[in-house]
Structure 1
Amino acid sequence: MHTMWKGSISFGLVNIPVKMFAATEDKDIKFRYLHKKCKTPIKYVRTCSTCDREVGWDEIIKGYEYEPGRFIIIEEEELEAIAPETKRTVEILDFVNLEEIDPIYFDKSYYLSPNETGDKAYALLRKAMNETGKIGVAKITIRNRESLAVIRTLENCIVLETIYYPDEVRGIAQLPALPDETKLNENELKMAIQLIENLAAPFDPTRYKDKYRESLQELIQKKMEGEEIVAAPVAPRRNVIDLMDALQASLEATKPAKKKKAGGPRRKAAKEKATI
């Protein structure tokens, strides 16, 4: 893995030298745009619509559009003057319970490993967090941007997760037409609960695949090998308008899964799903 940051974790008077690595990677398949006629990749150039010519990077400045067509010019020196202090420190501010933070706040994940002589202090912090069940709320500066983060453990590793600031999470009150205390049919509720129980299983991330990406990789491989591409038939879907009928059909489709849960891998749900 490529080391993307070096610094230390600081809590109290303890400093733990660490190295940071990206914990996730984007596996999306990227396409280039080509000219249909000659298959040449399309270039994107920076042009000025007023001067009607291409503009070099040395001619570009930054501006904030405070209303359509009106800008405040921001100089690089002004940005540097207010930039956060580039401390190479993950400063833990508080320790909290993980369940207190809603997943909507989580952004990106990074692995932290001990650097140089930090093995013992690293192991100490890891053990202390595991014993107390607490995670650390911290601040870190990455690429001149101060981010809020949490420090937690994953197996034998300390993980840093950047999280959004409260004002970056949109309020639920902004959403239109959310139902309040809707009167529900008791039988429908019981069936919905039963359906959830039928589909309940321990979380196993290896069970979930990006089927579109796999199909796209297979398509690319076949085209590279010159194979003929044949579209797969689309499975028919049955629309069920009545909520009770949809719940009943779903329960019937998931019954075999409940019986197989204790044994081998769970059987796939019936191909024909009820939709509302």
Structure 2
Amino acid sequence: MHTVWKGAISFGLVHVPVKMFSATEDKDISLKMIHRECGSNISYIRKCPTCDVDVEWDDIVKGYEYEKGRYVILEKDELEALSSDATKTITILDFVALEEIDPIYFQKTYYLSPDQAGGNAYNLLMEAMRQSGRIGIAKVSIRSKSSLAAIRIIDDCLAMETIFYPDEIRSIDQVPGLPETVNVNEKELMMARMLIEQLSTPFEPAKYTDDYRSRLMDLIQHKIAGEDVRVAPEQQRTNVLDLMAALQASLEAVKLPPTAPGGIDTGAAGMTPTTASEPIASTEAGTTGESEVVAKVTKPRARKTAKKETVS
């Protein structure tokens, strides 16, 4: 697994060096936006609507819109200054019972493994938590985002669950249409409880599958097998187009009248672009992906006359 964070767990004066790994992965099937007309992939361009120009990443900064259309610009170094060395520390503030935390608070799970020579401290913390039956509530910053976290044990591994701050949980009072009072029929309630009992079983996560994803993959494979496939047209390279234009311009540059001064015949024989003093050169342009072709062609030298006069 890829290491997403390195730091230490801190509780009291004890520091446990750890590495962090994402415990989950997104299995959603990625579908791209395709132009129905030709089958090409649609690209998204970072463009300034005011300047009407494409904007490079180096020219993009972050800003906070405090009024409609008015922004406070926040530079990268200003944002980094807000993050202290604590961003490399998972600071345990309290130890609580897991059942006291409502699942609505949980966000994302990470596995923690001992780093460097932290194996002994890692095992000590894990065994102490296992025997106490408590989990740790900590503060951590990942990618400049501060979050609460729950440190708990999964099998023989410390795991960290990022959790929402209380003010990030919306109040139930905001949910429309909730009944003011709960009135149920006793017989219906008894039957509902019987049904729940019949459907009750130990939790076996392996038996649950993503039916939509399976059906979508079946549909995709069916279309591939039936060759119901849209092939995007091959993009022509810009330098090829420019090269053709340069060749045409070169031919135009070396064209001479059928009879040059001095009676020299400048027809097709002996007067081809191969007599140019310099070949056509093509250079790639920086990072724009475009190409620029520069053609340098000089007029061919004509044969000397008996009087050693040069006809150009």
SS of the aligned residue for 1:21 comes to strand
Report the RMSD for the aligned CA atoms in angstroms: 1.7
SS of the aligned residue for 1:4 comes to strand
Q: Does residue 1:37 correspond to 2:56, yes or no?
A: no
User: Contact (CA 8 Å) 2:87, 2:142: kept in 1 or not?
Assistant: no
- State the alpha-carbon separation in 2 of the partners of residues 92 and 147 from structure 1: 12
Once the 2 structures are TM-superposed, how far is the Cα of residue 116 of structure 1 from its aligned partner?
A: 2.4
Q: Does residue 1:153 correspond to 2:168, yes or no?
A: no
Once the 2 structures are TM-superposed, how far is the Cα of residue 198 of structure 1 from its aligned partner?
A: 1.3
Structure index of larger Rg: 2
- State the alpha-carbon separation in 1 of the partners of residues 11 and 60 from structure 2: 42
- State the alpha-carbon separation in 1 of the partners of residues 120 and 81 from structure 2: 38
Q: Which residue is 1:126 aligned to?
A: 126
Q: Which residue is 1:188 aligned to?
A: 188
Higher relative CO (CA 8 A, sep ≥ 6), structure 1 or 2?
A: 1
1:112 maps to a residue whose letter is: L
| Mean CA deviation greater in 86-95 or 76-85 | 76-85
Return 5+ residue gaps in structure 2 as ranges. 229-312
| Mean CA deviation greater in 132-141 or 60-69 | 60-69
Q: Percent identity, please.
A: 57
User: Contact (CA 8 Å) 1:84, 1:145: kept in 2 or not?
Assistant: no
* TM-score, structure 2 normalization: 0.69
User: Contact (CA 8 Å) 2:16, 2:118: kept in 1 or not?
Assistant: yes
2:20 maps to a residue whose letter is: M
Decide whether aligned partners of structure 1 residues 90 and 172 sit closer, same or farther in structure 2, where only a CA change above 3 A counts: same
* TM-score, structure 1 normalization: 0.77
Matches within 5 A, 1:167-206: 167-206=167-206
Decide whether aligned partners of structure 1 residues 139 and 74 sit closer, same or farther in structure 2, where only a CA change above 3 A counts: same
2:192 maps to a residue whose letter is: A
Return 5+ residue gaps in structure 1 as ranges. 229-276
- State the alpha-carbon separation in 2 of the partners of residues 60 and 116 from structure 1: 38
Once the 2 structures are TM-superposed, how far is the Cα of residue 50 of structure 1 from its aligned partner?
A: 2.2
- State the alpha-carbon separation in 2 of the partners of residues 27 and 41 from structure 1: 22
- State the alpha-carbon separation in 2 of the partners of residues 43 and 203 from structure 1: 44
- State the alpha-carbon separation in 1 of the partners of residues 70 and 164 from structure 2: 29
- State the alpha-carbon separation in 2 of the partners of residues 155 and 199 from structure 1: 27
The size of the alignment, in residue pairs, is 228
Matches within 5 A, 1:1-276: 1-226=1-226
Decide whether aligned partners of structure 1 residues 119 and 201 sit closer, same or farther in structure 2, where only a CA change above 3 A counts: same
- State the alpha-carbon separation in 1 of the partners of residues 35 and 87 from structure 2: 47
Once the 2 structures are TM-superposed, how far is the Cα of residue 191 of structure 1 from its aligned partner?
A: 1.1
- State the alpha-carbon separation in 1 of the partners of residues 77 and 121 from structure 2: 39
User: Contact (CA 8 Å) 1:8, 1:17: kept in 2 or not?
Assistant: yes
- State the alpha-carbon separation in 2 of the partners of residues 74 and 115 from structure 1: 34
1:90 maps to a residue whose letter is: I
Once the 2 structures are TM-superposed, how far is the Cα of residue 181 of structure 1 from its aligned partner?
A: 2.5
